Every structure is written in C-alpha cells, then in structure tokens.
A and B are shown apart, each in its own frame.
Chain A
Amino acid sequence: MYVYADNAAATKLSEKAKTAMLPYFDELYANPSAIHSAGQKIKDDINHSRETVAAAIGAEQAGEITFTSGGTESDNQAIMSAAALGAEKGKKHIVSTDFEHHAVLHTLNKLKKQGFEITLARPDRNGIVSAETIAALIRDDTALVSVMYANNEIGTIQPIGEIGAICRERGVLFHTDAVQAAGHISIDVKRDNVDLLSLSGHKFHGPKGAGVLYARKGIALSRLMEGGGQEKSRRPGTENVPAIIGLAAALEESVSNMERESEYLTTLRNRIIAGLTKIEGSVMNGSEKQRLPGNINISFEGTDGESLVLLLYHIGITVSNGSACTSVSTQPSHVLRSIGVPKEYIRGTLRITLSRYNTAEQADYIVESVTKIVHYLRSFSPTWKEKILEDKERAV
C-alpha cells in the first residue's frame, strides 16, 4: 500500500486546479503585461484569481492581494515592509515567536543585524502563544508583531483573532504566516484584524511556485527586487500565470469544502492519534484541541526520527520527522525545543500530515506500521533498554 502523509510539506495538485491551469501553458501564454488583447485576457484572468483569493481570506478588495513566488517570499516582503514603515517613525522593535518558520526567523535575524531589536515569545508546553504573552511584549517602539497562524510542525493554531485585536488597539502592524492554515481552517483578515498575511499554493492542493501576500489597503509594501511594474510595482517579474490560476482555483475549492473536509480529517487524525498513543513511551506534541485537522506530531522514546521515516518509506508510507526545509540538519527541531519536549523523546519524532486523499484504511496501516517499526528500533536501542532497566529498578 502506498500512503502519502507528508501534506504539511507539499500536497497533491487537485484535479480542479490542474484543469484550470492547463490552458495557460500552451494556449493562453501571452504576457499579461502586453497591451494586445491576448495579453489583456491573461491580465483579466489573473485579476479574477486575485478576486477569488481576496474573497477566500475576507479581504476588503482584490487590490490588497499581491502574488509572489510562495510563502517564503511573502514572509520576507511582509516583514521587511513593516520594518521599513516602522523605521520611518523611529520604531525599530519587532515581536514574534520562537517557533516561527525559518522564512520569518531568518528575516528577523537579518533585521537584527540592521539594528532592529527582536523579542521572541516562547510558546507554552501545548504549543500555543497566548494573546496576553504577546500583549506584554508590545512596546511604544514596536513596529510589527508577527505570529504564525498555525505551526508547521506541530499544527497548533494560535489565537490570531485575539492577537490581532490587541495589535489594532495598540496601533502596531500585525503579520501572520498563514501558510499551514490557509485552505484548512477559517481565515478572515477583517475579523482577525490582520494587516499582512502570507500563504503558499502547494499547501492546499495548489501548485508550487505561487504564493500570496495580503497587505491591508494603505500599507505600502517595499520591493524585494527591482524590475518592471507588475503587481502594481510591488513585485516585478513576469507573473507565474499557470501557478497563480492554480493557486486561486485550489484555494476556492478548499475553502468551499472546508467544513466537510475538516470533519473528515479530524476523524482520521484522531483515529491515528488513538492508535499511536497506545504505544508505550509515546507522547503527542502540541495541543489536541487547538490543532490543524490533519496534523499528528508524536515522539517515541528510545527511537530516532530519521530511522522511523526511512523505514516507513521503505514500506510505502511517506511521512517526515519535522520540517522538510531543515531535513539536512541533525539538530533537534527548534519547534520541539521551544515547547520543551524532553530530550528522551525529542529525537524520535514523527510528523504525519493528512489530506483529503487519505483513507481510514491508510490510517490503520499507518498505526500498524509505526507500531511495528517503533518496536523494531527499540529491540536494539541502548537508550530504550536502559529506560526499561531503570523502570524495573524503580518498581523494586
């Protein structure tokens, strides 16, 4: 049986998105900036996609949507723009969290070297950063608060509406990296008082290479690159038309099926969690309630995540041991460290992320296979044997 359950890394392109994209490769290929009607037709189609995206996230107008190359570019541009706006007013302090994606953390680190002061809030043991925690860190010179909508490893959903309300009240710009949340849980930039938001096509059955930066009307974006006047001069370079069309189609589809799909995935997720937490020496990471419908993150004492992932792949199950963006590193994940996963567990972590294409039969196969492989790895794990010995001694 082949099971793909690494959907937080990338999802399968939906049929709807694929069908929508195909004409833009070899039929509708004119340059959208051209003044002839072939080009203007493409421009209209991009703007139609812009309206679709605006509606999906509750934006006031389509003009607030800028198409980018993906979540990383959107995060970079959002943060650099807010920093530039803050610096103009002498505000050079930014609040964010310890467990953001590296697209945010590394951008903040760059700003730090440019003289900004960065304060990172630490999530609690459940993987939640409370609005009170953020409120306490905001100062008079705070230019920006950036808190992810949902964490990419442990899937915990942050209180974005509450944080947004506080930022609005205190007059601070608020950015949220919604890459993992978009298309999976309800997002409404007006309801949540969000000023800047990033999302990425390939996380909700759209294509790779397209992302969105939402910037509330009136927030001037700084360019990351110089070039032509595309995207109202906010993002030069010929538009990735097929990917933009596919992103909008996939987002529209995901949002319209959200309720049903969320229910389906939550059932499937809980079935796997129930099965895997039966294994001795296992621990779930992150809140079970404030959690993305398809995310399971669980650690098994005495095992190694890389070995788990590779052995599972060998029997047809594709999962991960954390973020794909940091897979070469041998360091334990900064996310798991930030929520204080004990060192006995932290190395043996699996991230299983589901999509609409997974079935109950696959869920059971995952539970059965992970159980088998955890036992296999422990059969020759010196640290697990020591733990068993210590437990026995304690019992005596």
Chain B
Amino acid sequence: MLYNHTITDHFLHPQNIGALNDADGIGEVGSISCGEVVRIFIKINDGVIIKTGFEVFGGAAAIAGASVLTELVKGKTTDEALHLADSGKLDTLLDGLPPSRLKSAVFVCEALQAAIKNYYDNNGIVYDLFEFALGCSMCDGCGDEFV
C-alpha cells in the first residue's frame, strides 16, 4: 500500500466530510488542472471554531489530511488554528505522507487558512496578511495545462 495505516484509516473513515450550510468562513485551494481542489468550511462562535466541514477533489492524502486537520481545530480559536495549519505538522500527524503527496498537505493547510481569512474578511476583523500563505506556495506553474 502506498499509504500508512493512519492515512488509510482517515481516508476510509473521514471526519467532518461534506459542506457546512451555515459556514462563517470558506476557503478553497487548487484547480482541476493541478488535479486537486480542497475546500474547507468553518463555523465560528466567540472566536472559536465550533464546526468544520470539507470537500475534496483529489486523492487519499488530501481526504485524510482534511479529515485530520478539520478534527484537530475544532474547539480552537482562529489564532490557534492558524498555527496548526502547517503542512509539516500535518505530515507528522499523518505519520508521514509519501514525498510525492506532500503537496496535498500544503493544500489542506492553505484551505484552512483561506477559510479563516474569509471569516476575518466577512466580519471586518483586522489581521496581518503575512500570517497567511499567499496561495499554492509549493506550486510554480499554475499557467501550465498540467502541473
């Protein structure tokens, strides 16, 4: 098997799968051309993430990664969640992705950051832009037909 037990388990039994109809923030990263799209939904109460959801067009790494991260940030403040949205940390939580699938962890983390940014924007909350990834940071060829 290409993936370890932790990844396989989350892939087969994902948590928080599906959209949230009452989301306060939605973040999306990726495109059809690059073969992966991750969309994360968050519901906030008093600055704390109380519900999460996700949608994925992609492989097991993206589905398992989104499952782990959306579970981890429940009950955390948006500030705490931003610190957890780190692909290195997520890779550790997944007990190690195959190197060819590290991109998926980056997508998942950036989608959560985008969801938090979207929540800040919607609610007029001031933030430091440099706290956020500026999109698809590992990718250098979005203009290509396939990346």
- Which A residues lie at the B interface, using CB under 8 A? 302-304, 306-307, 310-311, 314, 327-332, 337, 343-344, 347, 379-385
B103 near A382 with CB under 8 A, answer no
Residues from chain A with Cβ under 8 Å of B18 in the complex: 379-380
Chain A residue, CB-CB nearest to B98 = A328
Chain B residue, CB-CB nearest to A337 = B146
B60 near A306 with CB under 8 A, answer yes
Residues from chain A with Cβ under 8 Å of B56 in the complex: 380-382
Q: How long is the Cα–Cα vector from A384 to B32 in the complex, in angstroms?
A: 10
Known: A380-B18, A382-B39. Contact between A330 and B57, CB under 8 A? no
A307 near B58 with CB under 8 A, answer yes
Q: List 13 A-B contacts (CB under 8 A).
A: A310-B3, A310-B8, A310-B60, A311-B12, A314-B12, A327-B2, A329-B100, A330-B103, A343-B33, A380-B18, A380-B55, A381-B57, A383-B32
Q: How long is the Cα–Cα vector from A328 to B2 in the complex, in angstroms?
A: 8
Of A304, A311, A337, A379, the residue contacting B58 (CB under 8 A) is: A304
A385 near B60 with CB under 8 A, answer no
B54 near A344 with CB under 8 A, answer no
Query: Which bucket holds chain B's interface residue count?
Result: 20 to 34
A302 near B57 with CB under 8 A, answer yes
Cβ of B91 under 8 Å from chain A: no
8 Å CB interface, B54-89 against A: 54-60, 63
A300 to chain B, nearest CB (A): 11
A305 to chain B, nearest CB (A): 8
A385 near B55 with CB under 8 A, answer yes
Q: How many A-B residue pairs have CB under 8 A?
A: 63
Mostly helix, strand, loop or mixed at chain B's interface?
A: mixed
A331 near B55 with CB under 8 A, answer no
Cβ of B119 under 8 Å from chain A: no
Q: How long is the Cα–Cα vector from A35 to B75 in the complex, in angstroms?
A: 79
- Which B residues lie at the A interface, using CB under 8 A? 2-3, 8, 11-12, 17-19, 28, 32-33, 35-37, 39, 54-60, 63, 98, 100-101, 103, 145-146
A382 near B146 with CB under 8 A, answer no
Chain B residue, CB-CB nearest to A303 = B57
B55 near A307 with CB under 8 A, answer no
Residues from chain B with Cβ under 8 Å of A304 in the complex: 35-36, 57-59
Of B3, B12, B37, the residue contacting A382 (CB under 8 A) is: B37
B17 near A380 with CB under 8 A, answer yes
B146 near A331 with CB under 8 A, answer yes
Known: A307-B59, A381-B55, A381-B57. 14 other contacts (CB 8 A): A302-B57, A304-B59, A307-B63, A310-B11, A314-B12, A329-B100, A330-B101, A332-B146, A343-B145, A347-B35, A380-B19, A380-B55, A381-B56, A382-B57
Chain B residue, CB-CB nearest to A348 = B57
Q: How long is the Cα–Cα vector from A327 to B98 in the complex, in angstroms?
A: 12
Residues from chain B with Cβ under 8 Å of A310 in the complex: 3, 8, 11, 60
Residues from chain A with Cβ under 8 Å of B8 in the complex: 310
B2 near A383 with CB under 8 A, answer no
Q: How long is the Cα–Cα vector from A304 to B56 in the complex, in angstroms?
A: 10
Residues from chain B with Cβ under 8 Å of A302 in the complex: 57
Interface centre among A314, A328, A347 (most CB of B within 10 A): A347
A306 near B12 with CB under 8 A, answer no
Q: How long is the Cα–Cα vector from A337 to B146 in the complex, in angstroms?
A: 10
Residues from chain B with Cβ under 8 Å of A381 in the complex: 55-57
